[in-house]
Chain A
């Protein structure tokens, strides 16, 4: 069964550094999302992406964040200058046209020191 994959599984970085989190969506899915889960808290929506542009973003998704689909397969989340409070589990999710059921990747745990 096709799965959403994410790399790396765990990323440790220094405050102020740039990080790129990668997701490979299921091949026929056209809607992409990023969510984050700070330890002990609920999962929060960051951004949705369709047809090579952002469909919707939350207030969390400020100018430090960006998303792109650089090569037609990967879907990336970039944080330009990480802060301590960016430490969280980041989940990628995708769904095909015609359904709102999202399929989640295993997540990337980002630790900012």
Chain B
């Protein structure tokens, strides 16, 4: 069975400093992995997706994630945080039947 674990429920960074949001996955086969962002009172927006074409995936708004099979990780990073990055971030694995399995989310706070 597939699952994802987001290791931090809350992350605080200062504006202009790097962001690291951690995600570990469990899958019995090569998974599709996603990061979605949810701004307050908004829907879920796709940041990026891994599908085995390349281990380093670039997404929107300067985010990227690296798939590491040996560590079963798919951490999300950004070199320099912006105030507008403050949101909830979800790591997601797609099951073989297409349904999404969500992590518990990481709330990112960006301090001025």
Contact = CB atoms under 8 A, between A and B. Distances in A.
A66 B100 CA distance: 19
Interface string A55-82: 1100000000000000000000000000
B105 A42 contact: yes
B98 A95 contact: yes
Q: Is the interface of B mostly helix, strand, loop or mixed?
A: strand
B83 to A, nearest CB: 22
A84 B87 CA distance: 27
Given A101-B49, A106-B42, A106-B43, A31 B101 contact: no
Contacts of A103: 46
A42 B102 contact: yes
Interface of B: 32, 34, 36, 42-46, 49, 90, 94, 97-105
Interface string A20-59: 0000000000010101000001111100100000011000
A102 B100 CA distance: 9
Interface residues of A, number: 22
Given A42-B90, A43-B90, A101-B49, A91 B44 contact: yes
Contacts of A104: 36, 43-45
Contacts of B32: 100
7 closest Cβ contacts across the A-B interface?
A106-B43, A104-B44, A43-B102, A100-B94, A42-B104, A45-B99, A42-B102
B100 A31 contact: no
Contacts of B90: 42-43
11 contacts: A31-B98, A42-B102, A45-B99, A55-B97, A56-B99, A100-B32, A100-B98, A101-B46, A101-B49, A105-B43, A106-B42
A53 to B, nearest CB: 14
Contacts of B102: 35, 42-44
A48 B44 contact: no
A33 B102 CA distance: 14
Nearest to A104: B44
Nearest to B31: A100
Contacts of B101: 45
A35 B90 CA distance: 14
